[in-house]
Structure 1
Amino acid sequence: LVLVGTTAKMALPTSAKFWLLGIGVFYSYETYLRMSCKYGRFYKPSKQIVDEELARALKVEKSIASECWKELTEKYDVRDKVSRIEVPTLIIVGEKDKINLKASQYLNREIKGSELRIVPSSGHTVMVEKTEEFNHVLEEFISR
């Protein structure tokens, strides 16, 4: 099992919820997505990454995306289940991930025998920001 930049409970600060709601109300869905792809991050993405992410996001209807986001942020809580994981588990997180570094450390404590790998100089999207390092860590784990 490989867990990447994740958490056992999704929770957004109230300020972030208002920010997301405000953008969704005052701007078109496409503008909201553009702003989210470009500014709603924890690193500075290249134009290519922004364009690719926007193209993918625009394929999803606004109502569906909104409902998925609501479910994720308000109802996702598996803290009572993670300690039951009994398979070899690798947890990968970016050193500068402002949301999931502590959450990954929690998962590492709760999942018996799990391995936590913190990728230096990487933020929330470690697999995009540090692709080579990420793949190396993943290959190491899989080859065991």
Structure 2
Amino acid sequence: MVEGVYGNNTTILLPPMKTPVPKTPKKGMRVPPPTLSLITAASSGRIFLPLNINGTHWTCIVVDGSTQTVCCYDSTDKRANHNLLAQLAGEIVKKSIAKAFSVTVVPSPIQKDGDVFICLYFWRRFWKGAGSDYTEKGLLRRRWDILRTIM
């Protein structure tokens, strides 16, 4: 349903990562070749690349083929996460996208309700009709909106 409403998009899960970044795998070799191949095949549309950090926190890299941009999102706004996302985005652009894409780490307010915030943040990026009420009631309403959209 989401693809039919919002156009050409793909979701590819990145392998879980840790911060601080361990020495292996080496910088520039963190995204597995099969994942890079999937990104190459889908790079003309919009690609959502969710990433779990330290087994407890979700972030996302969005590759937008129409605007030739790569945006990195993290609801905790931690420098270590931003650095990791920027490195991964750079690796993705270098190894799997033929055109020159710009990479942007998007600053965002720190959120206690990170999962809903990240979903809503992506949703608002591509659909301006999504609400922007971040009160407790507004977030509850958005949770239900997101659930209905996914289902």
**Shorter-chain TM band:** 0.3 to 0.5
Higher relative contact order (CA 8 A, sep 6+): 1
More strand by share: 2
- Per the normalisation by structure 1, the TM-score is 0.33
Length-normalised TM-score, structure 2: 0.32
Higher helix share: 1
